[in-house]
Chain A
Amino acid sequence: MRHVISLLIENESGALSRVSGLFSARGYNIESLTVAPTEDPSLSRMTIVTTGSDEIVEQITKQLNKLVDVVKVVDISESAHIERELLLVKVRATGKDREEIKRTSDIFRGHIIDVTDASYVIELTGTQNKLDSFLGALDASLILETVRSGICGIGRGDRVLKV
């Protein structure tokens, strides 16, 4: 099962390696991991996408909680939540392809944020599925480069992850 784990961690050097080291040492999967400071600069927030049985995910959250620098851990995929990922894709855009790519990008509510006479860079946010679908909709031979951020997640409604 896929799980999305959000955590707050002291924003100190080495904090990221404590988390990633835990995953590699114990053989847990990381599908994606994003991290950045929060509005309180002493804290960083991470979103980790992982897969595993219920027992393994329970161990993952317990082990994360055990890290001395980790302040809070929540498996946000246990209830209603929102996931977003950022995709930047550079495509070859020449001739009649330019119009076609623009149309496809519009359909997915993407933005063309860089234009040359031979290429576009398209920015798109959404769930992992949406980004996958968009890439699928593009002619693969036109894709020059892609970069994805990994997902950020937040709980819906009143649920708040805060110190």
Chain B
Amino acid sequence: MMLSGAEIVVRCLQEEKVEYVFGYPGGAVLFLYDELFKQDQIRHVLVRHEQAAVHAADGYARSTEKVGVALVTSGPGATNAVTGIATAYCDSIPVVIISGQVPTAAIGQDAFQEVDTVGITRPCVKHNFLVKRVEDIAPTIKKAFYLAASGRPGPVLVDIPKDITVAKCEFDYPKSISMRSYSPVSKGHQGQIKKAVQLLMEAKRPMIYAGGGAVLGNAAEQLTKLTKLLGFPITTTLMGLGGYPASDRQYLGMPGMHGTFEANMSMHFCDVLLAVGSRFDDRVIGNPAHFAEEPRKIIHIDIDPSSISKRVKVDVPIVGNIIDVLDEMIRAVEASTRRPEEDTLATWWKQVEEWRRRDCLKFKHDGEIIKPQFVVQKLWEVTNGDAFVTSDVGQHQMWAAQYYRFDKPRRWLNSGGLGTMGVGLPYAMGAQFAHPGSPVACVTGEASIQMCIQELSTCKQFRLPIKIVNLNNRYLGMVRQWQQIFHGGRYSESYMDSLPDFAKLAEAYGHVGLRIDKAGDVEGALREAFQRKNDLVFLDFQVDPTENVYPMVQGGKGLTEMILSAEDL
């Protein structure tokens, strides 16, 4: 049977078992929306801004193991989506974005709502396509889903001119796809795995450092098993939180710029470092020259060869699917009679525990003023550490990462790579759609939340009972912190005057708004919010405006050169 291009797009999405499409209609995608209207297998979520459509699809993907889908129109629809696409790209999140394009004959004519979407998005997608024939729609969408989810995942954009959605052809969805130019590695090199295991057994001061790849590669279980088997200390990066249970004794917290004292010291002074799906980001290792001063052997497992030896020279590179490589390593360790020497390991642990006793995350908490860290701690308690937590970008993001102890993967959603303010609420929407009965909290700040605040309207339409934890300090907190430390306290444009009354604003959107001024009211407010199972509750916490995030490694400094508290300034 002959189907129109628009029908084919919808049929392809159905074949891919897509539950939700996050999008916004417009001229170039009218035929696609007409076909969405005629079916009920795929639910369309009407956002209020295309940026949020991609963020929500991205949040849906992060909180599940599925591919998120966004649909936007040509021109401004596509350009609004770019921030969302770049955000997903920087964190390797599988998202398929379908964008409308002006009719083929109008391309290049400066038509109404025309932009070169494929050109604009090229540097921030894993791949993109401009579909030029209706016959190409099905194989292209098949490729898009395959590319997005396989290898190192990432966003893939399919740009479809309006006339192609009208043209007709036979529909046949390919069962599988093979591309001669694309064949991601899966199995790790046997010899390298053997070498790695041997190195781990001989280690005197071993350390495991896992990143977002461990979470995205669904390898948390294997990572935990291997770490337990070896008895080594482990740290997980901002993107890797939940990849190993934070409540476990072997866990040292997050490394890096705002990492714990014990994680950073162990990273620096270990003699064998096992890096799992992490990329030695500048926010993690600080100054690479300082990091290289201390001799250590590095084993690096990653699906992407270009991540290996990019910033830090690696001794044993292993390219492969993390889950497969870790399984092989577990088998090799179990089969071996050798074990790391107990006394040596005990001595190392003694040192690590000594570092841990610095209790670097302690904060002064007295009186009625609300400490932001305290709010996150209480959030963790009230939700039994089992919520999906999203954040925006800034101080609140770091506090959420430091004080909410994630025991499970895919529970922590934030923009680690691009650092996009405004992701928190749409991420929470994506997570709530994916997990309708589960508690979802968006930890944000009064600045970040305003970058996608229009989505409160989407939340009302779809009755999403998200809890917004607004750590309101009236400042662009992280900017203010840097200005305090590095710019002589000249707070250039980091104070936000004329903030809205967020409780009333939430009410105007049809939600519940609460303003909390006193520390004594924090827990009660959180409990009340989570008891309201069907309501979105906007909790506007008036927190200490002078609080800073510690520990802190200044840009350009080494991992061990930490500012631990205000007294170190």
Contact = CB atoms under 8 A, between A and B. Distances in A.
A71 B228 CA distance: 41
A68 interface: yes
Given A14-B122, A21-B122, A21-B123, A69 B181 contact: yes
Given A58-B309, A63-B306, A68 B122 contact: no
Contacts of A71: 180-181
Contacts of A18: 122
A58 B304 CA distance: 14
A68 B310 contact: no
Given A10-B181, A163-B180, A66 B123 contact: no
Contact of B181 (A21, A58, A59, A68): A68
Interface in B147-164: 147
A72 to B, nearest CB: 8
Contacts of B130: 13-14
B119 A66 contact: no
B127 interface: yes
Contacts of B180: 71, 163
B123 A25 contact: yes
Contacts of B127: 68-69
Interface in B417-431: none
Contacts of B147: 68
A120 B181 CA distance: 45
Among A63, A68, A163, the most chain B Cβ lie within 10 Å of the Cβ of A68
Contacts of A163: 180
Contacts of B305: 62, 65-66
Contact of B179 (A9, A63, A68): A68
Nearest to A10: B181
Contacts, number: 37
Contacts of B181: 9-10, 68-71
A68 B182 contact: yes
A68 B309 contact: no
B135 to A, nearest CB: 16
Contacts of B258: none
B478 interface: no
Contacts of B123: 21, 25
Interface string A21-61: 10001000000000000000000000000000001001100
Contacts of B119: 14, 17
Contacts of A66: 304-306
A37 to B, nearest CB: 15
Interface in B93-125: 118-119, 122-123
B480 interface: no
Interface in B171-185: 179-182
B396 interface: no
Contacts of B310: 59
A56 B123 CA distance: 19
A31 B87 CA distance: 32
Nearest to A14: B118
B126 interface: yes
Nearest to B127: A68
Contacts of A25: 123
Among A9, A62, A71, the most chain B Cβ lie within 10 Å of the Cβ of A62
A52 B44 CA distance: 49
Interface in B46-61: none
Interface string B436-465: 000000000000000000000000000000
Contacts of A62: 305-306
A93 B180 CA distance: 52
A68 B126 contact: yes
A115 B130 CA distance: 46
Nearest to B305: A62
A58 B127 CA distance: 22
Nearest to B126: A68
B158 to A, nearest CB: 13
Contacts of A21: 122-123
Contacts of B122: 14, 17-18, 21
Interface in A139-163: 163
A10 B130 CA distance: 15
A58 B123 CA distance: 20
A17 B126 CA distance: 14
Contacts of A55: 309
A59 B118 CA distance: 25
Nearest to B119: A17
A55 B181 CA distance: 24
B38 to A, nearest CB: 33
Nearest to A9: B181
Nearest to B306: A62
A59 B126 CA distance: 17
B306 A59 contact: yes
Interface string A66-93: 1011110000000000000000000000
B324 to A, nearest CB: 20
Contacts of B306: 59, 62-63, 65-66
B126 to A, nearest CB: 7
Interface in B370-415: none
B185 to A, nearest CB: 11
A63 B64 CA distance: 28
A38 to B, nearest CB: 13
A18 B310 CA distance: 21
A136 B147 CA distance: 51
Interface string B117-149: 011001100110010000000000000000100
A19 to B, nearest CB: 11
Contacts of A14: 118-119, 122, 130
A21 B324 CA distance: 33
Interface string B12-30: 0000000000000000000
Given A17-B119, A62-B306, 19 more contacts: A9-B181, A10-B181, A14-B119, A18-B122, A25-B123, A58-B309, A59-B306, A59-B310, A65-B306, A66-B304, A66-B306, A68-B126, A68-B127, A68-B181, A69-B181, A70-B181, A71-B180, A71-B181, A163-B180
Interface of B: 118-119, 122-123, 126-127, 130, 147, 179-182, 304-306, 309-310
Listed from nearest, the 9 A-B pairs whose CB atoms lie closest are A62-B306, A68-B127, A71-B181, A25-B123, A68-B182, A62-B305, A63-B306, A66-B306, A69-B181
27 contacts: A13-B130, A14-B118, A14-B119, A14-B122, A14-B130, A17-B122, A18-B122, A21-B123, A55-B309, A62-B305, A62-B306, A63-B306, A65-B305, A65-B306, A66-B304, A66-B305, A66-B306, A68-B126, A68-B147, A68-B179, A68-B181, A68-B182, A69-B127, A69-B181, A71-B180, A71-B181, A163-B180
